[in-house]
Amino acid sequence: MAEALKLLGRRNYAVVCGDENLDEISIAGTTHVWHIQENGDITNYTIHPSDFGVPTHPLSEAAGSSLEENKETLTRLLNNNLEAKDEAIRDFVLVNTGFLLYISGMALSMKEGATIARETLESGKAETLLYDFAKATQELRAQESEKAAIN
């Protein structure tokens, strides 16, 4: 997969695989990374939740549930009103967001990326960004519908 991304000219991308065959950064343990560098070289390394400053959790603690329960969990996460059972989900968000911030160059380390993610959640900025994104996509959809109706 990393070779295909490289051939497509992608840079500062990463392919990840948790030891549990997870296609995201794992909170349960080691994740394997194939990082396509700016110069096109692919570096392989492993990362661990401790690289982000968070503890490990069994994946079962971050598993989704019913639509209503997932919505409630997301609301608690965005409102920084977490229950003990939400910590694994929050940490799952922190490691994956932190890694994206690191790979994109917006953070100098994975731990700094996770810190930025935590601050964004705790300050309420994540909720604002989510609602702004939803509003923008709804406006774009409305514009596209208007164009289609004219044609």
The label of the residue with tokens 């994104």 reads 133
**Given this model, what pLDDT does residue 151 score?**
74
> C-alpha 28: how far from its chain's center?
16
Question: Which tokens belong to 2?
Answer: 């990393």
Check if the beta carbon of residue 29 is closer than 8 Å to that of residue 23.
no
What phi, psi does 74 have (nearest 5°)?
Answer: -60, -40
Provide the H-helix boundaries in the chain: 2-7, 67-78, 87-103, 110-123, 125-150
pLDDT surpassing 90 at residue 65:
no
pTM of the full predicted structure?
0.87
Question: How far apart are alpha carbons 30 and 17 in whole angstroms?
Answer: 9
pLDDT surpassing 90 at residue 118:
yes
**Given this model, what pLDDT does residue 9 score?**
86
Residue 65 region, left (φ>0) first, then alpha (ψ -120 to 50), else beta? beta
Mean pLDDT calculated for residue range 47-75 = 94
Mean pLDDT calculated for residue range 83-107 = 95
pLDDT digits over 122-144, tens only?
A: 999 999 999 999 999 999 998 88
**Given this model, what pLDDT does residue 149 score?**
86
What number of residues does the chain have? 151
Handedness of CA 72, 77, 79, 82 (dihedral sign): positive
Q: What percent of the chain is modeled with pLDDT above 70?
A: 100
